[in-house]
Structure 1
Amino acid sequence: MKNHDYRRPIEFTVPAHGDGAFYVMEDIGPEFYGYYHRHREFQLSYLLKGNGSFMIGNLIRPCLENEIFLIKPNDPHLFFKGENAEEEQSIHIVHLFFSLERLAPFFEMAELQAIRSLFYHIPASKLLPAEFAIAIRDAFSSLHRDEGPHKLIKILEIFDYLRYREKQLISLYSGLHKIEFHDSDGQRINTVIKYAIDNFKRNVTVEEVSSLIHMTPTAFCKFFKKHTKKTFVSFLNEIRIEKACQLLVNKRVESISEAAYQCGFNTAVHFNRVFRSIMKESPSEFIAQHAVER
């Protein structure tokens, strides 16, 4: 096993922004996220491709293709490759994060009481074996691309299927009780994220943000990437593109260039390049598919 610090899980800040109640993260590459960590959100993870091991608290077990992991808030955990795993083996895993606190009014609906019970009264993190999980593989595999009502409908389908298969869930009891963790890292990350959201329209520098939490720029860049799995610049650009999408969809600007300047980009060329990188289509293509008719 690689040398990870298992005794002191880092406070991972799910890099969600905007008003969305759910955040989807898709990992594709040679390795899993390499830090033993915990977070305040509930996490559902579907391993679409690859194999490895999963550590939660004091428990280590294999993680296999097509398994689903239901990870309780604040349960420290880590997905990792085994020592004998092939280096070129690719990993593809989809994570769905959601805050039980934020969704409390949603789960109060009478129609969702059975699903509420699944998440609010779960005694330990759980695993759904591949033989049962594969039925909703397609729902997870496209979740990263879905938006709006389509995304919500698909998430409800996943929730309902997990409720239906509740008896097939295997406990991942970790043996840890009431362990206190140091939250200062999470507080610093949250300070940075709020600052970025409040100031995305202007040129926010790494030097400026690092001084906000009393770190050098180099230390801050490593710190932010470790705790969010994104560079600060990438995160800031995602906020800007999200805001630009809102302007373009609702036709609140006269042109693509105006949207670019209002969202903190100095040139339309740079905006177009970043937009395509994040949205996988050009601003013009996005407008054609999503613009609201007036």
Structure 2
Amino acid sequence: MKSLEYRKPIEFTVPAHGDGAFYVMEDIGDDFYGYYHRHREFQISYIVKGNGSIMLGNLLRPCAENEIFLIKPNDPHLFYKEESKSTDTSVHIVHLFFSLEKLAPFFEMAELQAIRSLFYQIPSSKMLSAEQAIAIKDVFLQLDREEGVQKLTQILSIFDFLRQQENQLISLYSGLHKVDFHDSDGLRINSVVKYAIEHYKRNISIEDVATLVHMTPTAFCKFFKKRTKKTFVSFLNEIRIEKACQLLVNKRVESISEAAYQCGFNTAVHFNRVFRNVMHVSPTTFVAQHSVEK
């Protein structure tokens, strides 16, 4: 994994990377960057290898190989890896960061007006499915190997490709519009998110997470709801359901009940109710739909 000096969470806000207009970070290792974080730069990420989920604001959804994510400045986010019993669970992701503020004069050129619109007027973070994104994969893989004009040419080709695919971009509304995090709040949220992802299989009480961030249960519930627009129980259930979906889609369990118990639900009835609330279909229907897709 490259550039470890940039992998430390600095008060929840990632600093600008060097003096260049564009910064490329290529992560190859056992897991994605493990902190729920935000930064002032626009981020474009190509997942070369590794499946899992992305948490963006209060949105939780799957992420998979060959998908591209366009993440707006200051949208808090976290990629985390799918659990797997296979021997090779490594990940590979290429990130491109750039400051819209710093590049404003550059994008004023008439030739770049369409691209400027894509980045400066984007209403929410977006993603591009693997079916469309794979056409630009080789360019992303070369980004960290190029310098100077060659690097700029590759970046412009990515921008133009995304412009051409603009109608195919899928909105990832974070649910945190105009909500500002102070750095100390971000560190608390990060601790809670990491704890929930690492311990979702067991019973987690409000008292557990409140103690983790040195708050009373009542104060923590108000704090979490205000900054994520959902309760901690709802957030935890979404993590559990997302993990259950991964188990069911990849046929890593023998039954729906087994998926429920592996993901922290004490009864199948409770699991079915929460699953339907999160996914808007029953577990049985979900499995049937994905069996047809495969």
Please give the range of the TM-score, normalised by the shorter of the 2 chains.
0.5 to 0.7
Mapped to 2, the partners of 1:60 and 1:185 lie a distance apart of 20
Mapped to 2, the partners of 1:17 and 1:87 lie a distance apart of 37
Q: Give 1:74's aligned amino acid.
A: N
TM-score, scaled relative to structure 1: 0.57
Counterpart secondary structure, 1:65: coil
Match of 2:26 in 1: 26
Counterparts of 1:170-249 in structure 2 under 5 Å? 170-183=170-183
TM superposition shift of 1:157? 0.4
Mapped to 2, the partners of 1:109 and 1:93 lie a distance apart of 31
Counterpart secondary structure, 2:75: coil
Match of 1:142 in 2: 142
Residues 258-287 of structure 1, C-alpha deviations (whole Å, 9 max, x = no match): xxxxxxxxxxxxxxxxxxxxxxxxxxxxxx
Match of 1:17 in 2: 18
Match of 1:224 in 2: none
Counterpart secondary structure, 1:162: helix
TM superposition shift of 1:185? 11
Does 1:99 pair with 2:99? yes
Aligned length: 177
Match of 2:280 in 1: none
Match of 1:68 in 2: 68
Contact 2:50-2:81 within 8 A present in 1 as well: no
Mapped to 2, the partners of 1:169 and 1:85 lie a distance apart of 32
Mapped to 2, the partners of 1:22 and 1:45 lie a distance apart of 13
Mapped to 1, the partners of 2:57 and 2:185 lie a distance apart of 20
Counterpart secondary structure, 2:14: coil
TM superposition shift of 1:81? 1.2
Mapped to 2, the partners of 1:11 and 1:160 lie a distance apart of 31
TM superposition shift of 1:116? 0.1
Contact 2:32-2:79 within 8 A present in 1 as well: yes
CA RMSD of aligned residues (A): 2.0
For structure 1, list consecutive stretches of 5 or more residues without a partner in the other structure.
Answer: 1-8, 187-294
For structure 2, list consecutive stretches of 5 or more residues without a partner in the other structure.
Answer: 1-9, 187-294
Mapped to 2, the partners of 1:137 and 1:152 lie a distance apart of 16
TM-score, scaled relative to structure 2: 0.57
Assess, with a 3 A threshold, how the Cα gap between structure 1 residues 40 and 83 changes in structure 2: closer, same or farther.
same
Mapped to 2, the partners of 1:147 and 1:176 lie a distance apart of 36
Contact 2:23-2:98 within 8 A present in 1 as well: yes
Assess, with a 3 A threshold, how the Cα gap between structure 1 residues 82 and 125 changes in structure 2: closer, same or farther.
same
